[in-house]
Amino acid sequence: MFNNCDYSSNEFCVFDENSEGLRYVDLPTNPERFTGYTGDSATRVWKSIYNENCFGIPNHLDKETCIEKRIYYKLISGLHASISTNVCYYWLDTKTGVWGPNVDCFKWKIGKFPDRIENIYTNYAIYIRAINKISNYLNNYSYCNGNDEEDLKVTHLVKKVTDISKEYPFTFDETQFFNSPETKELLNDTKFQFRNVSRIMDCVACEKCRLWGKLQITGLGTALKILFSTKNVNSISLKRSEIVAFINGFNKLSTTINMIDEFRELWRAKEEGSAQEENSTKEKRDTKESNTKEEGNTEKEKGSTGKEKGNTKEEKPRELSKADIFLIKLSKRMDHYFDKLKTFIFNIFIFLKLVDPNNLELKDKIGTVVISIFSIGFAMILQLIFITKALNSPVKIVENPDYIKEKDASNNKKDSDNSNKPGSPKSPKNGRKKSKKIN
């Protein structure tokens, strides 16, 4: 798949620095955000990564899977979740043209999956450990951008980052991995699959998506190279593109964690707002019902007064019966639950990535169609039950020709028994009583 000159045995990524057509991109002016790149093309990219380059773990992730393979899967999942978080944070509302956080996007892609957020933190811990391990190398590196003032500023900022990394505890210990005879060969397989992922990122059709995907996978691959490719830190050598990807990849993870905290606050505020809105709507509905009832009583009093005076002949307003009140409350409850059902169905479509979360018109249409189908199906079932019951007697007549005679005989017997009862008008005893009264 790869030429011998594409990479060395220590590399986790494939570099095309000598390829033609490369151009430099200013990352701050081309931030990672929503581009509209969705559908089959985007799905195929991640499907190829998970199904073909994750040791088959998505299909059987369990305790029997070795820890090296599980950590590898967590790295890919954390990378994917970080990218999705940034896209949801810098979201474009196609109706208003305004950029801003999309809480529903975050909720159904990351927020409702604690394991994905945990995997983001796993990637962050690996970056912290890698920065701390080569802190001297980063501090002594010559950052040359062609501007002495900017070079000095970059050197100062990198020094600040390495100092902060030393304050963090070592939550990731690389010495616990690939140290047994069975897993030593697994390290080469891991590098091979990671290089495949790096190549797959080159196949992304969206230029900006390809830019940030390639940069972050290269940054993560550089962190793994620092931790697992050499035991002697002083002998490590990094390309300029590796350092750029490494620092920017760490920056993306740091901002992603801040975005997650902000999304949680927005999510909580949205749910509280929905609850308050629902309570407010209920209070308004109750107030309106109370006012309507008072107006009805007032009209009733006016009508009664007018009738006494003889000035008007207005009819007495009909009071709501218990059945009417019950039906009104039932219809309001059904309307409330139907709204919840439509929201639930629409959220399922969002989770399956079949609709745009901002398309509220489609939400009403989908909910109405599904509820209509359900209602029609329920009505058909009731109709089938009634038809079956109605056809029950003709079936008995066909199967038993004497069915009508037996039924008539049974009815005659019942009439005869009723006539012999003491309370019956045709009873002799009753007749005697009647004759005595005549005499």
Could you tell me if residue 132 is inside a domain? yes
Q: Is the domain of 191 the same as that of 335?
A: no
Nearest by Cα to 197 from 23, 27, 117, 79? 79
Q: Is the domain of 65 the same as that of 176?
A: yes
Nearest by Cα to 249 from 91, 100, 75? 75
Q: How many domains does the chain fold into?
A: 3
Could you tell me if residue 370 is inside a domain? yes
Q: Are 2 and 195 in contact (CB under 8 A)?
A: yes
Each residue's pLDDT tens digit, 310-320: 544 444 555 66
Q: How many CB atoms lie within 10 A of CB 125?
A: 17
Query: What letter would DSSP give residue 317?
Result: P
Each residue's pLDDT tens digit, 196-246: 888 888 888 888 888 899 899 999 999 998 888 777 777 888 888 889 999
- Alpha carbon 327 to chain centroid, angstroms: 35
Q: Is the domain of 69 the same as that of 210?
A: yes
Please tell me the predicted confidence (pLDDT) of residue 61: 60
Q: Is the domain of 402 the same as that of 384?
A: no
Q: What are phi and psi of 99, to 5 degrees?
A: -90, 140
d(CA 297, CA 304): 11
Q: Is the domain of 152 the same as that of 112?
A: yes
Please tell me the predicted confidence (pLDDT) of residue 259: 94
Q: Are 103 and 223 in contact (CB under 8 A)?
A: no
Arithmetic mean of pLDDT over the chain: 77
Q: Which amino acid is it at 167? A: E
Domain carrying residue 377: 328-390
Q: Is the domain of 93 the same as that of 65?
A: yes
Query: Which are the contacts of 248, defined by CB distance < 8 A and separation ≥ 6?
Result: 27, 215, 216, 219
Does the predicted TM-score (pTM) go above 0.75? no
When comparing pLDDT for 112 and 431, which is higher? 112
Both structure tokens of 109: 């892609």
Q: Is the domain of 424 the same as that of 386?
A: no
- Classified as helix, coil or strand, 439 is coil
Please tell me the predicted confidence (pLDDT) of residue 85: 94
Could you tell me if residue 273 is inside a domain? no
Q: Is the domain of 118 the same as that of 225?
A: yes
